[in-house]
Amino acid sequence: MHLTVKHVTQFKFAEAATHSIQYIRMTPRADLCQRVRHWEITASGRLTPWIDGFDNHVHVATFDGEHDEVRVTVSGEITTSDTNGILPMDDGLPPYIFLTPTDYTDADDGIRKFAKPIAKVLESQGALAAGHALMAAVAEAVEYQAGQTTVETKASEALAAGKGVCQDQAHLFIAAARHLGLPTRYVSGYLAAGQGNDSHLASHAWAETLVEGLGWVSFDPANDQCATDAYIRLALGLDYGTACPIRGLRSGGGLEEMDVNLRIDEQ
């Protein structure tokens, strides 16, 4: 697919801020399933590019002086390919780092109990079948409902509530998979309009699990499907905290409102 993306994020402050920093992970990764034709990030502040420890392309936007809003615009064109949700095993990152538990993905008693039936699938049918079984189980256990959780919600909390969004479903998948010994990572990106439950949101999130002998296999519990050419991979990490599209700090400003406008079109 040939996709165009226009994504505007605007933070408005109740009073003037004196200094703001935004960490932006909104540049597509170079990989087998996507080729960037053109991509641009602009902001009213100073942009500094760098590469983080997961090989994500990051920009740090710095805003100095009094300001009452921060605006970041991402636009570009990308060609995607359908790889059946599979990417090569060797992409330069040590796979077993993705067994590391985090605050978001720590497996409590509830998650360990939730993963028990999947352990039987893993033992009898292997990692690929276990991934598909886990994806379906997460989709059934955590109903997609926007507004029920926050960006701070942990996988254990989403499972207990039975409600959440793609971030929560990805975290639960990751927590259970890592508990079973399957290296699994968090992926943030875009899903083209009309291709999933939350395509109206600013971004999407799913997981990738290492299947020995096959590669990294994508699992999107929010839509109970593996990634297709409708998906754009922006960043990966241990969890939302290390792969989120945008996160910032500021001095002053008071209360904040965030306005997001995203449009993805197929050419």
pLDDT 10s digits, 215-244: 999 999 999 999 999 999 999 999 999 999
Position 173 pLDDT exceeds 50? yes
Among the ranges given (46-55, 62-71, 190-199, 244-253), the one the predictor scored with the smallest mean pLDDT: 190-199
Q: According to the model, what pLDDT value does residue 192 have?
A: 87
What percent of the chain stands above pLDDT 70?
96
Question: Residue 84 — very low, low, confident or very high, per pLDDT cuts 50/70/90?
Answer: very high
Position 59 pLDDT exceeds 60? yes
Position 29 pLDDT exceeds 60? yes
Q: According to the model, what pLDDT value does residue 267 have?
A: 82
Of 219, 216, 253, 235, the closest CA to residue 23 belongs to 235
Q: How far apart are the first and last CA of the chain?
A: 8
Position 199 pLDDT exceeds 50? no
Listed in sequence order, the residues at least 6 apart from 6 whose beta carbon sits closer than 8 Å to its beta carbon are: 73, 74, 75, 261, 262, 263
Q: Provide mean pLDDT across the span 204-216.
A: 97
Question: Residue 203 — very low, low, confident or very high, per pLDDT cuts 50/70/90?
Answer: confident
C-alpha 11 chain-centroid distance: 20
Q: According to the model, what pLDDT value does residue 193 have?
A: 66
Position 30 pLDDT exceeds 90? no
Q: Is the dihedral of CA 42, 47, 50, 52 positive or negative?
A: negative
Residue 141 CA to residue 164 CA, distance in Å, equals 10
Position 248 pLDDT exceeds 80? yes
Compute and round to an integer the Cα radius of gyration of the chain: 18
Position 195 pLDDT exceeds 80? no
Structure tokens at 131: 């991934």
